[in-house]
Structure 1
Amino acid sequence: MMHEFITVKGRKMKIIKLNIEYFIYLLIFSQLRIISIYSFQSPEIYGHSTVSIDKKLYFIGGYEHTTKDNSSFFYIDLNQSFNVSTPAYIPLESAPVGITYATACVGGVNNATIFVFGGINQDKNSKSQIMNKLINEFDTTSQEWSTPQIEGEPIRRRGLQAVIDTKGNMYMFGGFYDFVNMNTTFFKDMIIFNTITFAYSNGSTIDGPPRMYGYTATLLPNGIIMYIGGVSATIIPIINITMYDINKNSWSSTIAESPNDIQNRGFHSAVLAPNGIIICYGGTSLDYYAASPSLIVLNTTSFEWRSPEHFGMNKPPNLYTHSANLVENYMIIGFGNITASDSYPLSTSSSIYILDINNYTWISYYEALPVPPPPNVSPPPNVSPPPNVPDQPKPPLSVGAIVGITIGVAIVMVLLLFFRIRYYRNRSPNFYVSGSQK
């Protein structure tokens, strides 16, 4: 507000002018900021990393097909319901470097920090590759990125997948890297990074698998990491299951049973269902053609592969270098390259897809589970239970659309108020005179 003075009966009186314009500008700016969040365009990315914390699914880096950018960073709030075709992405401040083909886990003292290891890191300005500082971390509490300098870092690599145990140890096997002015280097070591002490160590390689990349790694509750598929000198057979015991620091392997129609694959995805089934999706066979069938599952007790029948209109295309995360009973597939059974990659996806693993149905609407009531709180008496809700309700508008319309109406109302106030101010500019008698 502004202050002016006038003299009334020999006394200097203060006039208070309310600068409504500044308030209006601030309000409009804040509304536009909210609109920018809900109008965030879904990128066409592949080679990105993902983690899930408190039902927020974070997407980190990846190569953007249209803009050639590699600094995407956003999340989906899975506490909110949405149409799968139009989720409300929330953009965040990107990492200090561009990141592609990295691997990420959630760890740290409070289990609230995202640790992103390796991959291709690029300086945002010069686009030159960064060879040191393999760890980038994002604190989900302070919403800040940092790139710590850690002693004993291994050689940079990509094409590997990390898992993390309950003690904060990330386990990362193999991978490869295309070094500048050097031949491609392939690795067969087990790197262990402790996200609490920031110390590196190495696991055993005795009886371990050959150099490989593009595989999936799944940590079972008993401490066994199961490695499936990937690429070595050629595509690794899907029946060759390699296992690393984190408790005994030892390797073993087995041969799984599989129908003849399940093809070998690399650059696929995998999640562990609560019943001990590993669900894999997508991937490529030789020459980057789509691996068939796209959805396969492994029984981790009997070591048998099968391809379950899956349903729904929202089935994803054949994908590789995509992501997959399990949140409750939903497998969420994100982005990746689209390919076919007889051709190289056709395009890049800008969508997510959700599989209900209870009945292998691709759903078109994600309905968030209600937040449970606080403990020791009983429901009010004589209240009828809510009516049954259809499995896949289809509201006419998405969350983003509803928010956008609401904000648009709010801006119109604010503008009307703004011009109305200006009109009356021009007629009587002094809103209030301190100490005056009306």
Structure 2
Amino acid sequence: MFYLYFYFIITLLFNYIHLVQCLLSGTSSYKSYYANTKLYYAGSNDFFYIDLTNLPLNENTVIDSSKWIQLNYSIILIRPFLGGKANDKFFFSSFAFVGNSNEVFLETFDTTLNKWDKDINFTGKPSKYFESFDDWVSDKNTGKVYSLQQGDVIDIFDTVNLVWTNSSLVPQVYQDYTRLLRPTYDPPQVILPNGQAPSIRSGYTAVLTSDGRIIIYGGMSNNLAATPSIVVLNTSTYEWSTPTEANPIGPLASHTSTIVDNYMVTSFGIIVTKKNLDRGPNKNVYKLDISNPSTYKWSILSTFNDNSTKPSKSPFPSPSTSPHTSPSNNLTTAIGVTTSILLIVHFIFWWVVII
């Protein structure tokens, strides 16, 4: 019985630690996706979309946040992935206990039918230490998604046939990395790119364009804005380059980015300044025209208006609970709740074992 209680508490603790990491980094941990001409955003406590139907991105139309459409949900929203035959379904995975791959559950949201389906049956099972808050990368051609997990394991899920497998062909453990998949790439050997590689950074995004460019944007290095803010790797020639930025929006970190046609859409995160305490939340959605490989142009796509009449709740927490408050407040909250959880663990151990 004690081990059952222990697993339960540890599961709560692991999930809370992940949440605290989001709070301390100053980001609401949104992940963006593009499906059925809509921009979807999934956060730890929010799920909404911006409808881009009949809205050419080459125009200067700015979408007010009153047009952000809230989606109802009854689950914890942790790192979904897109899949299905038409690549139009969100898959949400959750687990009952850490280290128990038999207790993983799937739910889907169909973006075409706007419909939730619960308790999806699948064959196979995840790796032993599968964590649902790790990122996934999708292969639209095969419908398979991949996630690098603990223990040097890649979890593979076939979203068309609903089959879960895993592979241990991972050379080493990585930290602060980005997952990208180029489906048509099969190199006979490891190739090192030419040119000036980007500086070591965290909190950045990397996207893959249809013509094989990897665009790295933003992030932090040594607690400052990483420079240059945009670095590009051409996967055909394996050369790094730094394009010119027109109308730069300033450095961001812990944001989210996704590709929509010839644009990279970048949203939310924190505004990185010279002083750590001056950082604030970015509440806007920007688009970057990447059609010209040598010059990228920024413009605004959507703005968050605190005073607008919104049809649904704001995707940003109220000021009293905002994750973008000062680091000291976040740290105090983190220490307080973590201490409480440890006291609960101690009490359960004393009650079960001693008594």
TM-score band by shorter chain is 0.5 to 0.7
Give the CA deviation at 1:113.
1.0
2:253 alignment counterpart:
320
Task: Give the AA of the match of 1:257.
Answer: N
1:381 alignment counterpart:
none
Task: Give the AA of the match of 1:212.
Answer: Y
Q: Compared with structure 1, are the counterparts of its residues 189 and 285 closer, same or farther at alpha carbon in structure 2 (3 Å cutoff)?
A: farther
- Aligned with 2:193 (options 243, 256, 262): 256
Q: Does 1:137 align with 2:108?
A: yes
- SS of corresponding position for 2:190: strand
Q: Does 1:104 align with 2:37?
A: no
Give the CA deviation at 1:264.
1.4
2:161 alignment counterpart:
197
Task: Give the AA of the match of 2:234.
Answer: N
Alpha-carbon distance between aligned partners in 2 of 1:291 and 1:145, rounded to the nearest angstrom? 40
Q: Compared with structure 1, are the counterparts of its residues 272 and 211 closer, same or farther at alpha carbon in structure 2 (3 Å cutoff)?
A: same
1:363 alignment counterpart:
299
Task: Give the AA of the match of 1:144.
Answer: K
Alpha-carbon distance between aligned partners in 2 of 1:305 and 1:169, rounded to the nearest angstrom? 29
- Aligned with 1:153 (options 98, 107, 126): 126
Q: Does 1:298 align with 2:262?
A: no
* TM-score, normalization by structure 1: 0.53
CA deviation vs aligned residue, 1:323-381 (integer Å, no higher than 9, x gap)? 11111111100111332356378222211111110240112469xxxxxxxxxxxxxxx
Q: Does 1:57 align with 2:9?
A: no
Alpha-carbon distance between aligned partners in 1 of 2:203 and 2:160, rounded to the nearest angstrom? 30
Q: Does 1:90 align with 2:23?
A: no
- SS of corresponding position for 1:355: strand
- SS of corresponding position for 1:148: coil
Looking at both structures, which has the greater relative contact order when contacts are Cα pairs under 8 Å and sequence separation is at least 6? 2
Give the CA deviation at 1:221.
4.4
Alpha-carbon distance between aligned partners in 2 of 1:353 and 1:61, rounded to the nearest angstrom? 18
Give the CA deviation at 1:56.
1.0
Q: Compared with structure 1, are the counterparts of its residues 80 and 51 closer, same or farther at alpha carbon in structure 2 (3 Å cutoff)?
A: same
CA deviation vs aligned residue, 1:386-419 (integer Å, no higher than 9, x gap)? xxxxxxxxxxxx9x9xxx9xxxxxxxxxxxxxxx
Give the CA deviation at 1:252.
5.5
1:275 alignment counterpart:
211
Contact 1:294 1:318 (8 Å CA) reproduced: yes
Alpha-carbon distance between aligned partners in 1 of 2:165 and 2:159, rounded to the nearest angstrom? 12
Gaps of 5+ in 2: 1-25, 310-355
Contact 2:40 2:48 (8 Å CA) reproduced: yes
- SS of corresponding position for 1:83: coil
1:331 alignment counterpart:
264
Instruction: Give the number of equivalent residue pairs.
Output: 267
1:188 alignment counterpart:
152
Alpha-carbon distance between aligned partners in 1 of 2:237 and 2:276, rounded to the nearest angstrom? 35
Q: Does 1:77 align with 2:52?
A: yes
Alpha-carbon distance between aligned partners in 1 of 2:52 and 2:188, rounded to the nearest angstrom? 38
Give the CA deviation at 1:139.
0.8
Task: Give the AA of the match of 2:119.
Answer: P
Alpha-carbon distance between aligned partners in 2 of 1:294 and 1:45, rounded to the nearest angstrom? 19
Contact 2:40 2:47 (8 Å CA) reproduced: no
1:24 alignment counterpart:
none
Task: Give the AA of the match of 1:196.
Answer: V
Alpha-carbon distance between aligned partners in 2 of 1:349 and 1:364, rounded to the nearest angstrom? 12
Alpha-carbon distance between aligned partners in 1 of 2:301 and 2:158, rounded to the nearest angstrom? 38
Task: Give the AA of the match of 1:148.
Answer: D
Alpha-carbon distance between aligned partners in 2 of 1:104 and 1:153, rounded to the nearest angstrom? 15
Give the CA deviation at 1:92.
3.1
Q: Which runs of 4+ in 1 moved over 6 A?
A: none
Percent identity (aligned): 25
Task: Give the AA of the match of 2:32.
Answer: T
- SS of corresponding position for 2:272: strand
> Which one has a larger percent helix, Structure 1 or Structure 2?
2
Q: Compared with structure 1, are the counterparts of its residues 365 and 146 closer, same or farther at alpha carbon in structure 2 (3 Å cutoff)?
A: closer
Give the CA deviation at 1:295.
0.8
Contact 2:194 2:238 (8 Å CA) reproduced: yes
Task: Give the AA of the match of 2:81.
Answer: A
